[in-house]
């Protein structure tokens, strides 16, 4: 298949993009927020406003717990949660908002919204595509063996190096909780991750092995990636795949956002959350003046 060249957000007419799109989907780490960090308040406010104008999807390689702490916990009372589609672990799981039927009694573990001025409710799982127990064990063994052989195994990591996310196994070279600065310096050319990806793919040809975030390699069912996610979204909304704008920072052919571009979305490349904030702010301005 012919390679797709994804334009930088500064090289497109954002007014035209805003007017034509039927949904906008975002990567998370490096796009809406830095790795494992919550969105900053200006981003949270801008994204919350955008959900009142157009359906918004978050398609992240991270777990639902991370999507919650980085995104949904940061949304303002203005956010239209009914207009949000959450697809963690690269689209292998899918969640929608379910508002509480009635006020719930106070408890030691309040649901989202209680006491915050935000609506009460929960994010309800719609589907999951889990790996079998045999495959999960096979993948974890392969990742550790090859990482050790390549000198990529960290003996004193910041948290777990290999995480079983059920529908996805994720290798994080420095550990899940490594400082962002160290992650960004570890493999700027993607050479280390690509070597590991190729070696593990040989062991599990029936599964999908791909480069994830700055230090990660992800493994899931073959064909279930961000391309799968955006095609599912198009079907749910009854729109064309080209009506979806996908915004991400890893749009090179080895990046985990690239499958969404290959699938046919209107893909835009950003270089960090600051760029994304500029894009979202421009979209909000367009909607305020045109709708």
Could you tell me the residue ranges of all domains in the chain? 9-102+109-129+224-290, 133-221
Q: Residue 112 above 70 pLDDT?
A: no
Sign of CA dihedral 229, 32, 64, 73: negative
pLDDT reported for residue 256: 87
pLDDT reported for residue 72: 97
Q: Residue 115 above 50 pLDDT?
A: no
135 known member of a binding site: no
List 212's β-bridge partners, or say none: none
Per annotation, catalytic residue among 15, 29, 82, 130: 29
Pick the CATH number of 9-102+109-129+224-290 from 3.30.870.10, 3.40.50.1000, 1.25.10.10, 3.40.50.720: 3.40.50.1000
215 known member of a binding site: no
Stated pTM of the model: 0.87
pLDDT reported for residue 169: 96
Q: How far is the C-alpha of 278 from the C-alpha of 275, rounded, in Å?
A: 5
27 known member of a binding site: yes
The answer to whether 28 touches 291, Cβ cutoff 8 Å, is: no
Average pLDDT of the chain, as a whole number: 92
Q: CA of 1: how far to CAs of 35, 253, 254, 259, 262, in Å? A: 31, 12, 15, 12, 9
Per annotation, catalytic residue among 15, 27, 73, 285: 27
Q: Residue 173 above 80 pLDDT?
A: yes
Q: Residue 109 above 70 pLDDT?
A: no
β 56-59/169-172 pair status: unpaired
Over range 159-184, report the average pLDDT: 93
Residue 2 confidence class, pLDDT cut points 50, 70, 90: confident
172 known member of a binding site: no
Helix locations, the chain, DSSP H? 14-20, 41-50, 64-70, 133-149, 180-186, 191-203, 226-237, 258-262, 273-290
Q: Residue 106 above 70 pLDDT?
A: no
Q: How far is the C-alpha of 262 from the C-alpha of 249, rounded, in Å?
A: 15
Is 27 annotated as catalytic?
Answer: yes
Secondary-structure class of domain 133-221 per CATH: alpha beta
73 known member of a binding site: no
């Amino acid at each position: 298949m012919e390679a797709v060249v994804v334009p930088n957000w500064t090289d497109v007419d954002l007014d035209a993009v805003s007017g034509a799109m039927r949904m906008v989907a975002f990567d998370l780490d490096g796009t809406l927020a830095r790795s494992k960090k919550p969105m900053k308040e200006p981003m949270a406010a801008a994204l919350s406003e955008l959900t009142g104008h157009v359906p918004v999807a978050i398609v992240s390689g991270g777990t639902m717990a991370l999507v919650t702490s980085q995104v949904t916990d940061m949304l303002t009372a203005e956010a239209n949660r009914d207009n949000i589609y959450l697809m963690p672990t690269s689209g292998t799981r899918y969640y929608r908002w379910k508002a509480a039927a009635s006020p719930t009694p106070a408890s030691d573990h309040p649901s989202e919204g209680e006491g915050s001025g935000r609506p009460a409710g929960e994010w309800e799982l719609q589907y999951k595509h889990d790996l079998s127990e045999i495959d999960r064990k096979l993948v974890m063994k392969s990742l550790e063996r090859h990482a050790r052989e390549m000198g990529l195994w960290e003996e004193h990591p910041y948290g777990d190096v290999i995480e079983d996310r059920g529908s996805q196994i994720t290798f994080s070279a420095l550990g899940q909780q490594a400082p962002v600065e160290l992650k960004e310096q570890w493999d700027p050319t993607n050479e280390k991750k690509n070597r590991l990806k190729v070696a593990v793919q040989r062991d599990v040809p029936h599964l999908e092995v791909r480069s994830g975030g700055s230090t990660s390699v992800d493994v899931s069912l073959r064909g279930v990636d961000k391309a799968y996610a955006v095609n599912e979204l198009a079907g749910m909304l009854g729109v064309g795949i080209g009506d979806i704008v996908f915004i991400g920072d890893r749009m090179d052919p080895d990046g985990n956002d690239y499958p969404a571009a290959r699938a046919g979305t209107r893909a835009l490349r950003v270089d960090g959350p600051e760029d994304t904030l500029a894009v979202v702010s421009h979209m909000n301005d367009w909607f305020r003046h045109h709708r």
